[in-house]
Amino acid sequence: MNTTVVVREPGKRIVGSPKRSRKPIRRRLISIHRWSALILGSVLVIQSTSGAILLYHAELFRAQHASFYRHTDAPAVVDAEQAVAMVRAADPGFDVGWVGGDGGVIAIGNTKYTAAYSVDPATGRINEQVNLTDGVLGWLTNLHNCAFGCARYSGAIPILENQAPLLGIKWGAVILGALGVLLVSLAVSGAVIWWPSLARLRHGFRVRLRKGRFARDRDLHDVIGILAVPFLLVWGITGTTIEWPAVQRAWLVATGGTTTLERTERSFVPRSSDARRPPLSIGEATAIADRAAPGRLAYLLLPTDDAPYYRAVVAGAYSPREHRLFYSGDVMVYVNAHDDSDIKVVDASHDRPLANTFYAKVFEPAHFGWLVNGWWRLIWLAFGLTPLALAITGLSTWLFRRRTRRRRAHATT
């Protein structure tokens, strides 16, 4: 048998050795995952943690403004129309834009959605006016929903409300969409790194509590991360599709839908009607909307010079925004203010492909947790805090490895 001896000269490597010339894909993926998490992970942790807090935005707002919700448990003697008239009489400078119900009171908000009065329907008492966009909750909302690019919320940074060149979206939306992409990439790469093979699958869910800090934190990082992957993917994908319309259209097409996701805003062109006719009252518009789309009236937008029609937002038998503060409906009924026969119902569950309906009724609302009550939302809260837990355990293992390498390097010198 002939034996070929390969002599390696000092300072040169063997060209034909694939193990030495190619860095394994897994190690490269681990490196990308680790460094992207270290560099951008802090921003992502802030974003996800603020979102976890805002899961209970409605409950926190009601607790903060208890006097706004002060009402008497008795039959109503004041309806929405009378409540609006009372607020206009009490504060003529308040530009009433919508009226709705929340927490037992009638809420009357302005056209900019920045302030609201409440009226006790059982006594007709006007409660205090509250600002809907300031304070800590307003700041957190601006951070999480707008990346400080919403001028009406506290903490706004004007430059982030400007349009990004060539993209057609605001800079705040660019930042939020990019964070969504980062979250998806971290979740996918983490799942690939975690995968232990079928033979060792059960080892992927163990946590070695007695093997030292490194083993414990690494196992916690792996287990927490793989359990949170479904939620992280939903948040990452919807966070991107909400902010980047092009990605939303691509997602709808990829899942079997159409690129047209008709929204409830600005999708009604009223027929020309006799403006000399007395406009419909709030009560008449509400009754028309109830016949067209039976359900709970969440709020009613009043006609304006630019939009001479009512917009009734209704929560039907299934409402994916049921637990949202004030704006909890998902079906829009347009009613021409001067023609009660001119109406339009916009509902994502009617005459839409299944993919479009699923996106509008389940997928996107799941991002905010609106479709479940406060108890079920605890699951959202737990997984919403996983990026923080992953950051802590990931940083712990990285620091441990770093110190170990330094000690070894120091010992060899």
The yes-or-no verdict on residue 2 having pLDDT over 80 is no
Position with higher pLDDT, 321 vs 199: 321
- Smallest CA-to-CA distance from 33 within 404, 390, 406 is with 390
Q: Coil, strand or helix: which one is 23?
A: coil
Backbone phi and psi for residue 72, each to the nearest 5 degrees, phi listed first:
-105, 135
- Give the strand pairing for 331-336 and 309-315: antiparallel
Query: What is the β-pairing status of strands 130-131 and 331-336?
Result: unpaired
Which carries the bigger pLDDT value, residue 16 or residue 193? 193
CB 83 within 8 A of CB 119: yes
More confident residue, 406 or 46: 46
Specify the pLDDT at position 273: 67
Q: Residues 299, 327: contact at Cβ < 8 Å?
A: yes
pLDDT band at 198 (very low <50, low <70, confident <90, very high): low
pLDDT, position 129: 95
Q: How far is CA 25 from CA 37, 101, 192, in A?
A: 18, 56, 11
Residue spans per domain, the chain: 26-56+137-258+382-412, 66-127
- What the block records as the tokens of 167 is 């993209």
Least confident of 52-66, 289-303, 304-318: 304-318
Question: Which of 104-113, 258-267, 311-320 has the weakest average pLDDT?
Answer: 258-267
Name the range with the highest mean pLDDT among 129-143, 198-212, 302-316: 129-143
Q: Model confidence over 141-196: pLDDT tens digits?
A: 999 999 999 999 999 999 999 999 878 899 999 999 999 998 998 888 888 888 76
pLDDT band at 368 (very low <50, low <70, confident <90, very high): very high
Largest CA distance in the chain: 108
pLDDT tens digits along 67-85? 999 999 999 999 999 999 9
Dihedral sign, CA of 375, 381, 383, 384?
positive
The residues facing 332 across adjacent strands are: 313, 346
Q: Torsions phi, psi of 326, nearest 5?
A: 65, -60
Closest CA to 107 of 82, 75, 80: 80
* 22, pLDDT greater than 50: no
Above 90 in pLDDT, residue 39? no
How far apart (Å, rounded) are the C-alpha atoms in residues 410 and 403?
A: 10
Please check whether residue 226 is in contact with residue 202, taking contact to mean a CB–CB distance below 8 angstroms: no
**Residue 226 to residue 195: CA distance in whole angstroms:** 9
Is 5 a residue whose pLDDT tops 50? no
Question: What does the mean pLDDT of the chain come to?
Answer: 87
Q: Give the span between the Cα atoms of 99 and 299, in whole angstroms.
A: 5
The region of weakest confidence among 29-38, 136-145, 292-301, 371-380 is: 29-38
Determine the pLDDT at residue 1. 47
| CA gap 303, 386 in Å, rounded | 45
Query: Looking at residue 53, what is its pLDDT?
Result: 96
Q: Which of 276, 278, 277, 302 is nearest to 289 (CA)?
A: 302
How far is residue 71 from each of residues 65, 125, 178, 327, 346, measured CA to CA in Å? 13, 8, 44, 20, 33
What is residue 274's predicted lDDT score, i.e. its pLDDT?
65
pLDDT of residue 337: 92
**Overall pTM surpassing 0.75 (yes/no):** yes
d(C-alpha 26, C-alpha 272), whole Å: 65
At 206-260, the pLDDT tens digits run 888 888 888 888 888 888 989 999 999 999 999 999 999 999 999 999 999 988 7
CB-facing half-sphere around the CA of 238: CA atoms within 13 A: 19
Q: What contacts 375, CB < 8 A, 6 or more positions away?
A: none
**286 vs 384: CA distance, rounded Å:** 38
16 confidence band (pLDDT: 50, 70, 90): very low
At 96 the three-state DSSP class reads: strand
Residue 262 and residue 121: Cα distance in Å, rounded?
A: 35
Residue corresponding to tokens 């004007």: 158
Per-residue pLDDT, 240: 96
pLDDT on residue 275: 63
More confident residue, 27 or 60: 60
**Would you place residue 262 in the very low, low, confident or very high pLDDT band (cuts 50, 70, 90)?**
low
